[in-house]
Structure 1
Amino acid sequence: MNSNQKKLVTSTVPVLKTNGTDLTKHFYARMFKHHPELKNIFNMSHQASGKQQHALAGAVLAYAEHIENPEVLINVLKPIGNKHVSLNISPDQYDIVGHHLISSIKEVLGEAATDELIEAWTQAYNELAQIMISIEDDLYRSTLKKEGGWKGWRTFVIEEIVEESSEVKSFYLKPKDQGSIADYLPGQYLSVKLFIPGLGHEQVRQYSLSSAFNPKYYRISVKKEVNPNAPEGAVSNVLHQKNTGDEIWVSAPSGVFHAGVDGNQPLVLISGGIGVTPLLSMLETNKNKLQENTTVWLHSCRNEKAHAFKDQIDLLNQDSEWLTTHIFYETVSKNENNAIKEGRIDLAELKDEVLIDDAKYYICGPEVFIKVQYNSLIKLGIAQENILFEEFGPQLLHFN
């Protein structure tokens, strides 16, 4: 891009700040009208809730604001690239998105969309697309180099189903072709693709791998949403109806939220609800690798019935001097273990436990939960670079 084109893109920042979501709503409606097959890829529950439109509006705004040096956004682009790889996104699909995004800019801005502005945004999009395609190509190549690695969708068989709580089931998945499977870093996820009868098309969801790597199977643990007719419950309810022997499509492990497997830094794990899953993978890996790094885990959920993996974590806690756990229930029964705390996690009250030199802090849970815990750690003096979090769904959280 030349300097004049960059100035033109920057000139749209005020409009994107005030009307960015209007643009992205128009874009998605336009694209799905012309390419309904893309509904098989995009999360339609996030479309229904508006989260995807909001996330894209934020991404477009961030790119416009940093058009002089888009490389500063690389830490934002990498998670998106990982998600795209897990969805098997291809370069030609960037052409489709680009066409409808530029057309939407023309239609939404009207007379303000001069030929020069459209040309500038076309060039800007093409440069961003090339950055993303390059990131994703590197990720595809890296996965294919692994033993058992693959690209695209692979058929897996549900070998075993285990109820972990009143609302969470674990699914043990083995490849139908009986070949080897790629390893992964603790905290990463799989994408699962299912046909959803109620929608009439496929949907893809990402589920954290909930155990340390085992070369025989992958394990994901899925919370069943209460309302099967709500958009966010479409996939989890269908998956919970599956039986052993059923087949599903799976893409190779991906994701930037993970703990190292060779480091010796202390870990502080903070989870809410189903956010337990990637952190359990970290905990098991820590034990299996015989690292036994000092680890503090704080977990919050509604009550004992909703507490997934309770017995497993209790056993680890009893047998591991390096592990300390703090469990919080919103509602505690009269017969509850005295070790269970009532209420929600308050890191300020536990600062003597969580303030550990050189520790890495991992947070996973609902959006509001992440915000509260992240801000609490910052107030306690933890450096931003030592705090990592996983937000399920579109990237809406950005902490500066």
Structure 2
Amino acid sequence: MDVREKQKALVIRTWDLMRPNLGNLSVRFFTAILDDIPEAKDMFHFLKDGVDDPQNNHKLRTHALAVFKLLLTNPLPQTCNSAVRLQENGHLALPDDALKKLGLIHLDGGVKDSHFEVMREALLATVREAVGGQWSDELSVAWAAAYDKLAYAIKMRMKE
């Protein structure tokens, strides 16, 4: 099995481990981002009032879960599927209109290049927590590569 196939298998296996707890994991992901970039609260209309602790904010929970389930395909979410296909051929599996929408949302929200690094670290920490003792350097590299390719595609759409 070549490196790309092995990374693909790792991403799929860990996604399957995460799937039953997506609600909590997605909130942890967003909370980690907000902890590192507190001003990011202003990017979400439902957090601007600052009344609720983000972890207890129902609207954030709903949004976070929707993001994690964004563009689900069967049996893998398209973001995971995209990561896997990127490993295979270097092209995104996400439809171009979905990428344009993601780019526009991130551009309109004021997302900066530096925010993508925070999101990357938040994702890796979320996956690490989800898989516990199964976490490894190899798994970290597989998820980082998948995220980097997706983030790059979104950034390119933000520049259009």
1:8, 1:23 → 2: CA distance? 18
Contact 2:17 2:131 in 1 (8 A): no
Q: Which residue of 1 aligns with 2:18?
A: 16
1:52, 1:119 → 2: CA distance? 27
Q: Which residue of 1 aligns with 2:9?
A: 7
1:59, 1:7 → 2: CA distance? 21
The structure whose RCO (Cα within 8 Å, separation 6+) is larger is: 2
The residue matched to 2:92 in structure 1 has which SS? helix
1:114 CA displacement = 2.0
1:80 CA displacement = 1.6
Q: Which residue of 2 aligns with 1:64?
A: 80
Residues 303-351 of structure 1: CA deviation (Å, up to 9, x unaligned): xxxxxxxxxxxxxxxxxxxxxxxxxxxxxxxxxxxxxxxxxxxxxxxxx
Find the partner of 2:65 among 54, 68, 84.
Answer: 54
1:93 CA displacement = 1.1
Gaps of 5+ in 1: 139-400
1:63 CA displacement = 1.3
The residue matched to 1:83 in structure 2 has which SS? helix
1:14, 1:72 → 2: CA distance? 19
1:95 CA displacement = 0.9
Opposite residue 145 of structure 2, the aligned amino acid is Q
Are 1:135 and 2:157 an aligned pair? Answer: yes
2:100, 2:149 → 1: CA distance? 16
Find the partner of 2:107 among 75, 82, 85.
Answer: 85
Matches for 1:221-370 after TM superposition, within 5 Å: none
Report how many residues are paired: 138
The residue matched to 1:7 in structure 2 has which SS? helix
The residue matched to 1:2 in structure 2 has which SS? helix
1:85 CA displacement = 1.6
Contact 1:12 1:64 in 2 (8 A): no
Are 1:34 and 2:41 an aligned pair? Answer: no
Residues 134-186 of structure 1: CA deviation (Å, up to 9, x unaligned): 11111xxxxxxxxxxxxxxxxxxxxxxxxxxxxxxxxxxxxxxxxxxxxxxxx
1:114, 1:89 → 2: CA distance? 30
Q: Which residue of 1 aligns with 2:74?
A: none
Q: Which residue of 1 aligns with 2:50?
A: none
Q: Which residue of 1 aligns with 2:134?
A: 112
Matches for 1:178-257 after TM superposition, within 5 Å: none
Structure richer in strand, relative to its length: 1
Cα-Cα RMSD: 2.3
Gaps of 5+ in 2: 48-53, 72-76
Contact 2:18 2:130 in 1 (8 A): no
Contact 1:9 1:64 in 2 (8 A): yes
Residues 45-102 of structure 1: CA deviation (Å, up to 9, x unaligned): 5953222111121139321134215623133222121111212322111111111111
1:54, 1:13 → 2: CA distance? 14
The residue matched to 2:94 in structure 1 has which SS? helix
Residues 255-300 of structure 1: CA deviation (Å, up to 9, x unaligned): xxxxxxxxxxxxxxxxxxxxxxxxxxxxxxxxxxxxxxxxxxxxxx
